[in-house]
Amino acid sequence: MKAFMVEKYGDATGMRAAEVPDPQVGAEDVLVQIHAAGVNPLDIRIRNGDFKAFLPYRLPLVLGNDLAGTVVRTGPEVTRFAVGDEVWARPDKDRIGTFAEQLAVHQDDLALKPATLTMDEAASLPLVALTAWQALVERAQVRPGQKVLVHAGAGGLGSIAVQLAKALGAHVAATASTAKVDLVRELGADEVVDHRTQDFTELLDGYDVVLDSLGGENLARSLRVLKPGGQAISVAGPPDPSFARELGANPVLRLAMTALSARTRRQAKRLGVTYSFLFMKADGAQLRRLTPLIDAGKIRPLVDRVFPFAETLQAMEYVEKGRAKAGKVVVSMT
């Protein structure tokens, strides 16, 4: 089958189209004919080797972390899916590879596609929707009336997090560029800070949760808008000791992650707040819990552009260079 794979870590020159063997289907696996795949900044970071210390993939590696498609075969112990089902998934981190014509996915990581979504729309959602769910529901346990700040509110993750936080009953603030302020308001944000002309630390205060996707100085400044006991959750900040334990990292890697996040954790402690790093997990059950919100129109995907499968490398370049105006980029196999 056709696929796009990473042959060596580094820039785009280390990735190419290739013919690879068809997937092997285990007893609890579902073989999916992929109709569309989402393109994420995570794909670029994996290609560049940013995570090779704790995601030691064996190269060559088929890339891709989001899919929507149709079941074409099931393993003998599969109980939840049948041939012909339309499904969506973020495969487990050890079994990625959605930039391909087919992929075998464990049934626990798969869910029936929301009926109201096209394949392209569904492929744009799993990774970012699961990240938003695991940050706001699983970790922060956001309750009605709480205040949530979402950075980059028009981005792939931010646009979904704004909508989910609003559906949870929170007062939602978001940052966005000038051209995207109205869009983020339409998504449900109660306050939108134009990061080009305004300083969110001067306008916002007393927040329960910050979801950060930018890291660096943005994360450090975000700690200051939290109320005592508030939480900063970042997908772009330094990994912390909890993540190292969750990963089952060796002592050397645990020590390195502890050191990387020490400054941020110290700053958070001084302010009476907490910091945690989030690396989302595949979870079909959580996708099923998101489906009613999507079918009810409380969460809608934003698809910036759809590329044909043959132009997957161009789609990655489009994302890497920040050309997407809002939402996600998708590659379509059909």
- Judge whether 285 lies within some domain: no
Beta strands in the chain (DSSP E): 2-6, 15-19, 29-39, 61-62, 67-74, 86-89, 102-106, 110-112, 147-150, 171-176, 191-194, 207-212, 226-234, 274-277, 303-308, 328-332
- Judge whether 287 lies within some domain: no
- Judge whether 286 lies within some domain: no
CA–CA separation, 211 and 275 (whole Å): 10
- Judge whether 42 lies within some domain: yes
User: For residues 21 and 27, is the Cβ–Cβ distance under 8 A?
Assistant: no
Considering the domain architecture, whether residues 28 and 78 belong to the same structural domain is answered as yes
Residue-level pLDDT at 334: 84
CA angle (268 as vertex; 266, 272 as ends), nearest 5: 115
Considering the domain architecture, whether residues 131 and 8 belong to the same structural domain is answered as no
Residue that is last in its domain, among 277, 292, 322: 277
Considering the domain architecture, whether residues 100 and 202 belong to the same structural domain is answered as no
For residue range 30-49, list pLDDT tens digits in order.
999 999 999 999 999 999 99
Q: What is the CATH number of the domain that holds 35?
A: 3.90.180.10
Considering the domain architecture, whether residues 273 and 163 belong to the same structural domain is answered as yes
- Judge whether 292 lies within some domain: no
Considering the domain architecture, whether residues 179 and 215 belong to the same structural domain is answered as yes
Residue-level pLDDT at 53: 82
DSSP assignment of 10-23, as one string? SSGGGEEEEE-PPP
For residue range 282-294, list pLDDT tens digits in order.
999 999 999 999 9
Considering the domain architecture, whether residues 216 and 308 belong to the same structural domain is answered as no
- Judge whether 289 lies within some domain: no
- Judge whether 288 lies within some domain: no
The strand pair at 2-6 and 61-62 is best described as: antiparallel
Considering the domain architecture, whether residues 310 and 271 belong to the same structural domain is answered as no
Considering the domain architecture, whether residues 18 and 60 belong to the same structural domain is answered as yes
Task: Tally the C-alpha atoms within 13 A of residue 211's C-alpha that lie toward its C-beta.
Answer: 32
pTM exceeds cut of 0.95 = yes
Task: Supply the range of the domain harboring residue 61.
Answer: 2-125+301-332
- Four-CA torsion 70, 76, 78, 84, nearest 10 degrees: 20
For residue range 237-288, list pLDDT tens digits in order.
999 888 888 888 888 888 988 898 999 999 999 999 999 999 999 999 999 9
Q: Which residues pair with 194 in a beta bridge?
A: 176
Q: What is the CATH number of the domain that holds 205?
A: 3.40.50.720
Considering its fold, how many domains does the chain have in total?
A: 2
- Judge whether 159 lies within some domain: yes
